[in-house]
Chains A and B, each alone.
Chain A
């Protein structure tokens, strides 16, 4: 019954959109949209899409980091496996293999270890056009850095922000996420999740719940959003944060900022990345060159328990300006260098230089 009313009314949208819509009424329209009826109808022509093939993708990189006078060599391989199943399923996994080799005082040779981590191993079920259900181990949806910028071929500065540890990491559990157009100018995206406590090697996770909501304004290309996280264990701590991203249309400029707060401290970062394409000289080279500047500040809170987390918040108040230069050799391949100055109880410099490459190999016939 619903189906036929909808079909008739939607068919009239072709000829007399407003009259038909009045008859349809808000409720029907909303139901239709939630059930995915409008997209199915409107995009029927697009249903002959190619069948997806499994892919091995990810990135590899090699960086030299000179931190407070000590040099560290950091080779990294971060494979991502994508396994699409049927029309609605995707299994995805990412591992991280990261070497950290420093010069030994005694021998003068470089020595160290290779760490490996399982960032995510998840099954996604695309339930309808506005909802995807994810189960397994996934990147905790909090702020934007971890989910969107973290991979070494994406990040503009190799050093992660000082507030990176707040609310971030991986969670084992279930997540609901999706997005839809509120109108022709605003898209909403959301993610909400619940995760369990796990101490299993490589699957470590806390018992938490939380989520993120973002609004993307398609005209000015601005996204604003907020995140929240609540621990469901120990003293049930809360964290929250806000994020902002803006790519002004006429300029090759990428502006991003985040603020986050937890009991261990709070802080923000503001970053601008500018492609130098508008400089008339050396245009071919300049177009591929990107200049990055970031300012960050953190405010220490309660003492954080000692853990093996490499990304703990600074113990005292810190300011850190960062500057970087990226050169995009081709799609997915860049060399980048950066300079940061830590301004806290003591001050020091950190330099990084290296190369990052994103690869994608089909595991089957690609055409």
Chain B
């Protein structure tokens, strides 16, 4: 009985999230595209922001590694931390420049 309740709550949570996802997305898509219009310095700054927001959440934010190591680490973290694709790309850009 209890398990069903929990399961329903989880399902409901996902359903609500997906519903919520459908409304503000237009702003999001617009925003994302606007940033690419700007030069790469803005992308780098955005990358730094995402690095600060994400990479110190579980462990102390790490230093930069050489570019090809960084690419592996970011792929690893992307899977482990289920961080969004966009965050990962921007963090990689920032960490390899």
Q: Which of B64-79 touch A at CB < 8 Å? A: 65-73, 75-76, 78-79
Q: Is the CB of B6 within 8 A of A228?
A: yes
Q: Which of A211-244 touch B at CB < 8 Å? A: 211, 213-215, 218, 221, 223, 226, 228, 230, 238, 240
A114 at the binding interface (Cβ < 8 Å): no
A312 at the binding interface (Cβ < 8 Å): no
Q: What is the bound-complex CA distance between A314 and B7, given in angstroms?
A: 27
Which A residues lie within 8 Å of B96 (CB)? 49-50
Interface residues on A, range: 35 or more
Name A45's contact: one of B36, B58, B59, B72 (CB within 8 Å).
B36
Q: Which residue of A lies closest to B36 (CB)?
A: A42
Q: Is the CB of A13 within 8 A of B33?
A: yes
Q: Is the CB of A184 within 8 A of B27?
A: yes
Q: Is the CB of B76 within 8 A of A92?
A: yes
Number of CB contacts from chain A to chain B under 8 A: 202
25 contacts between A and B (CB under 8 A): A10-B29, A17-B30, A21-B30, A39-B89, A42-B33, A53-B72, A55-B72, A84-B72, A90-B75, A126-B78, A154-B58, A180-B84, A181-B84, A182-B17, A182-B21, A183-B21, A187-B87, A190-B82, A228-B3, A238-B2, A240-B3, A247-B56, A332-B62, A362-B69, A367-B68
Q: What is the bound-complex CA distance between A19 and B20, given in angstroms?
A: 21
A86–chain B nearest beta-carbon distance, Å: 11
Q: Which of B7-62 touch A at CB < 8 Å? A: 7, 9-10, 13-14, 17, 20-37, 40, 43, 53, 56-60, 62
Q: What is the bound-complex CA distance between A247 and B17, given in angstroms?
A: 22
Q: Which residues of B are interface residues toward A (Cβ below 8 A)?
A: 2-3, 6-7, 9-10, 13-14, 17, 20-37, 40, 43, 53, 56-60, 62-63, 65-73, 75-76, 78-87, 89-90, 92-93, 96
Q: Is the CB of A53 within 8 A of B68?
A: yes
- Map CB proximity to B onto A335-365 as digits: 1 under 8 Å, 0 otherwise: 0000000000000000000000000101011
Q: What is the bound-complex CA distance between A24 and B96, given in angstroms?
A: 36
B69–chain A nearest beta-carbon distance, Å: 5
Q: Is the CB of A30 within 8 A of B68?
A: no
Q: What is the bound-complex CA distance between A365 and B31, given in angstroms?
A: 37
Which A residues lie within 8 Å of B69 (CB)? 52-53, 55, 360, 362, 366
Q: Which residue of B lies closest to A218 (CB)?
A: B53
Which B residues lie within 8 Å of A82 (CB)? 72-73, 75-76
A179 at the binding interface (Cβ < 8 Å): yes
B11–chain A nearest beta-carbon distance, Å: 9
- Map CB proximity to B onto A160-191 as digits: 1 under 8 Å, 0 otherwise: 00000000000000000111111110111111
B51–chain A nearest beta-carbon distance, Å: 13
Which A residues lie within 8 Å of B92 (CB)? 46, 49
Name B66's contact: one of A36, A129, A214, A362 (CB within 8 Å).
A362
Q: Is the CB of B22 within 8 A of A38?
A: no
Q: Is the CB of B6 within 8 A of A240?
A: yes
Q: What is the bound-complex CA distance between A53 and B73, given in angstroms?
A: 9
Q: Is the CB of A33 within 8 A of B68?
A: no
A364–chain B nearest beta-carbon distance, Å: 8
Q: Which residue of B lies closest to A36 (CB)?
A: B85
A148 at the binding interface (Cβ < 8 Å): yes
Q: Which residue of A lies closest to B31 (CB)?
A: A184
